[in-house]
Structure 1
Amino acid sequence: MPFINPEDGHLTVLNLFKTDTRDRVDTLVKEMKAIVDTAAFPGWISSTVHRGEQNPGTANFIQWRGMQDLESRYNDSEFKHHTVPVFREITTYVRLMQTEVELSQRHPALGDVTEVSPERDDYTVIEILGVKPADQGALVDALGTAHSFLVDVPGYRSQSVLRGIRSRNLDGGRGTLAAVGTDNDFVVVYSQWDGKESYDAFRNQADAEWSSARRAFDTKRYSLITSVDWNSYRAVHTRSAAQPVAA
């Protein structure tokens, strides 16, 4: 199963898709599963499909050996002339994000590694935080401090922080991709909880009930971010390369 580990050195690509109906989510998941089940791309390591819970959509958590392998995939004729048109047809929003894992922290009771798998019952929350490139490092550092108070929050399991490298969408024309924003202008937070009830209780807790550590973190975070986009998910399908791919 895939693991989130900054020491692995993988290029992690998070493909975020939104759509307008639950039926189209079914179609998205079906199309993504078909790609994952036949993946044999040079440098591809793993893919884990997530189905949107809070809002209609999907996320695909993909690990690659490096940037060159990903670019080869994007330049492939099948990607340009089949994959891109299919997803343009069934989505209202697409963002393909290249990232590096900066840190991955877990509740002390959950061991030494963060696993991403449909065999687990994690309620997964993915946040995309916009940030000025000059402030990206400070935001990553601030997010790392959240673990100190999250370990005391009922239902918290893990939090991984991924430094954004660049984003694209499907609007380049003729199957090509277009840049979204500028390089290094976002950070991804991938967190796991024991269920929706626990996460909602944490998210909706009254400010007056916050710990001093959470209040300090929140103040710092909001001084750095320029936008927030989030959704909750369940991992529904995963597959890894048959042989390990050297970084």
Structure 2
Amino acid sequence: MPYLSPQDKHLTVLNLFTTDQPEKQDKLIQEMRKIVDAATYEGWISSTVHAGQDSPGTANLIQWRSGEDLEKRYSGEEFRHRTLPVFQDITTSIRLLQSEIVHTQRHPSEGDVTEISPDRDDYTVIEIFKVSEGNQDELIAELGEGQSWLVDAPGYRSHSVFKGLRARFLDGPFAVVYSQWASKELYDAHRDQAETEKSEVRQKSEARVNALKTESDWNSYRVIHTRGAGE
């Protein structure tokens, strides 16, 4: 199963798709699984497919050996003339985000590694933060080390922070937070907690994030399929 770790030095690609109908989400998943199950690309390490929960859509977290290997995939006839047109036809938005993982944190009960797997019951949240030039590293630090207080949040399991390197269909610097929670109910309670009930350290951290980001959006997911090279 894939693991999220800054020590691995993988290029991580998050392909995020939104759509306007549950049936189109099913079609997206079907097309993604076909690609993942047939993947033999040079430098490809793993792909993990996520089904949207709060809003229709999908996410595919893909680990690559390098950006050069990914660009070979993007420049190929199959991607340009079949894969991309198929997804454009059934989506309302596409973001292909290249990144590197720079921080991981887990609740002590989660052990020493961050695993993503359909065998787990995580309520997974992927949040995209856009940021102005010059503020990316500071925002990433606040989203990572600056949120050590999350270990005390009921239902929190882990969060991993990715630094955006380059993207298709997204302009400007960005960061991504991939977090795992025990349930939707506990995550919603955390996100909707009244300001007066938040700890002082949380209030300061969130105020700093809000000051640094230019915009953000998120969706929740369930991991439904994964495959690695050699499987």
TM-score (normalizing by structure 1): 0.92
Instruction: State whether structure 2 residue 87 is matched by structure 1 residue 97.
Output: no
Structure 2 unaligned blocks of 5 or more? none
Matched residue SS, 2:135:
helix
**Aligned twin of 1:181:** 171
**Aligned twin of 2:16:** 16
Instruction: State whether structure 2 residue 184 is matched by structure 1 residue 196.
Output: yes
**Aligned twin of 1:231:** 219
Return the offset for 1:181: 1.0
**Aligned twin of 1:68:** 68
Structure 1 unaligned blocks of 5 or more? 170-179
- Worse-matched range after superposition: 141-150 or 74-83: 141-150
Q: Which runs of 4+ in 1 moved over 3 A?
A: none
The letter for the 1-side match of 2:179 is S
TM-score (normalizing by structure 2): 0.98
Aligned pairs for 1:1-247 (under 5 A) are: 1-169=1-169, 180-182=170-172, 185-242=173-230
Return the offset for 1:85: 1.1
Give the Cα separation in 1 of the matches to 2:66 and 2:190.
Answer: 36
Give the Cα separation in 1 of the matches to 2:21 and 2:164.
Answer: 29
Return the offset for 1:132: 1.1
Count of aligned pairs between the two proteins = 231
Give the Cα separation in 1 of the matches to 2:40 and 2:92.
Answer: 28
The letter for the 2-side match of 1:160 is S
Give the Cα separation in 2 of the matches to 1:42 and 1:65.
Answer: 9
Matched residue SS, 1:151:
helix
Give the Cα separation in 1 of the matches to 2:121 and 2:146.
Answer: 23
* Partners of 1:145 and 1:217 within 8 A in 2: no
Provide Cα deviations, 1:36-90, integer angstroms capped at 9, x if missing partner: 0000000000000000001000000000000000000000101111101100110
Return the offset for 1:146: 4.4
